[in-house]
Amino acid sequence: MPRPLTLDDLRRYAIARSLFKPTTLPRAIERLGFVQADPIRAPARAQDLTLRHRVTGYAAGDLERRYPRLGIEEDFFVNYGFLPRAHLALMHPRTPRTVWPASRLAQAHEVLAFVRERGAVHPREVDAHFAHGKTRNWFGGSSNASTQLLDQMHYRGLLRVARRDSGVRVYAPGNTHEPVDDPAEVHARMDALVDLVVAKYAPLPLATLGQLVSRVFIGAPQWQSDRGKALARAKVRLARAKVNGTDWFWPVDEDPSSRRHRVPERVHLLAPFDPVAWDRRRFEHFWGWAYRFEAYTPAPKRQLGYYALPLLWRDQVIGWANASVRQDRLQVDCGYVAGKAPRDASFRLALDEERQRLADFLGVST
C-alpha cells in the first residue's frame, strides 16, 4: 500500500519540477509554457530573473535581444508575458468583452493599414502620423492615445510585438486566426489552456486552481461564461489528493511522491513572480509565512523591501534578499524569517555562489 502523500512531498515536487536542469532558452520557454513579464528592473526584469535559473549561461536582456528569432509571442495569458506561438493560437481569434464604437474601429483600420505598409512601426511613428492626442490611462495619468490604441489592437490580435527598441514595443501586423465555432474544439482549447497553467504552477491547492482557471480568460475572454464548466472538467481530469485538509491538483501523468524529485543543495534568489513563489497561498502552505510583493506599497509600510527576492535554500524559503547594483558592483542585503541566517558553513558558501551567479547574469562584479 503506498504511503500517504505529505506536504513535504508536495513541496519538493513543486521545486524539483519547476527548477529543472538548465537548458536552452527555447526549451525553457516551451517547458514553462509561459513566462510572466514585469517592467520593473530591480536588479533585472522579472522575466530575466525567472529564466536565469532555467537557461544555461543566461544573461540579463537575452530574452529581449533574441525574441525576434525565438518563435514566441509577447502577449496576454493569465498575465502579460511571453509564450510559444502555438499556445497563443489557442486563444485566438480573441473577442474582447468591450465592443469598439464605429469611430474607434475606423481608427484601428487606418493604423493597421499604416503598419502593413511599413511592416513594423514604433508607437511614436503612429503618434506623429495620426496625432491622436492624449487620453487618461488606467493609473489616472495622461498617455498618448496612439499608444493606448496600439495596446488595444495588440490585445485583439490585429497587431503583434515584432521586437522592442530600448524597451518600447515595436508592432507588426498580427497573425491571422480562423474563427472557432465547433463547441468540442472550444472545450478542447479551454482545457489545453487550463492544462498549461497547471503544468507551470503545479501542485495547486483548489482555491488557486479556481483562481487560475478564471485568469485563463484574460487571454480568451470570448469563453469566459464557460469558466465554471472548464474548472469542473479540470477537477475531474487532473490528479488530486487531500493533504493536511487541502485538496491539491497536478498533471495526471506525474507522481508527487516519487523519490526522483531531488532538491539541489543550493540557494536560489527567486523573482517575485517565479513559478515557485507565484502562488502566495501555496507559499504559506509550504513555508508558513507570508511573502508580499511591496513595490507598490508605500515605503514606510514595507516590511521586506521594494523588490524583495524570496531566498530559497534547499527546499525552504528561509527569507528574502534585496539586490541592487552600485558603481558596477552587486549588493545583496538579506533578511531572514528566523531573524538570522543559518549558521552552517554550507549555507554561507551556497549564498556566496548565488551572489556570484547573479552578478555574472547582470554583468557586474560582487
Cell of 53: 535559473
Residue 137 has pLDDT above 60, yes or no: no
Question: What is the DSSP track for 250-271?
Answer: E-TT--TT-TT-PPPSSEEE--
Name 221's Cβ contacts closer than 8 Å, sequence gap at least 6.
94, 95, 96, 97
- In which band, very low, low, confident or very high, does the pLDDT at 232 lie, cut at 50, 70 and 90? very high
Q: What is the topology classification, in CATH, of domain 102-173?
A: Arc Repressor Mutant, subunit A (1.10.10)
Question: What is the DSSP track for 3-49?
Answer: PPP-HHHHHHHHHHHHSPPPB-HHHHHHHHS-EE-----SSS-HHHH
Which run of H or of E encompasses 145?
helix 145-155
Residue 140: its pLDDT value, please? 44
Is the separation of the CB atoms in 323 and 334 below 8 Å? no
C-alpha–C-alpha distance, residues 88 and 223, integer Å? 15
Residue with cell 557586474: 364
- In which band, very low, low, confident or very high, does the pLDDT at 132 lie, cut at 50, 70 and 90? low
- In which band, very low, low, confident or very high, does the pLDDT at 131 lie, cut at 50, 70 and 90? confident
Mean pLDDT taken over the chain: 94
* Percent over 70 (pLDDT), the chain: 96
C-alpha–C-alpha distance, residues 309 and 322, integer Å? 6
- Interior/surface letters 139-167, b for 16+ CB within 10 angstroms, e for the rest: eeeeebbbbbbbbbbbbbbbbbbbbbeee
Q: Amino acid identity of 250?
A: W
Is the separation of the CB atoms in 366 and 356 below 8 Å? yes
Closest CA to 203 of 81, 285, 292, 88: 285
Residue 139: its pLDDT value, please? 38
* Percent over 90 (pLDDT), the chain: 90
Is the separation of the CB atoms in 314 and 276 below 8 Å? no
Task: Tell me if the bond preceding 205 is cis, omega within 30° of 0.
Answer: no
Domain boundary assignment for the chain: 102-173, 267-362
- Mean pLDDT in residue range 160-185: 95
Which pTM does this prediction carry? 0.93
Residue 291: its pLDDT value, please? 98
- In which band, very low, low, confident or very high, does the pLDDT at 142 lie, cut at 50, 70 and 90? very low
Residue 145: its pLDDT value, please? 82
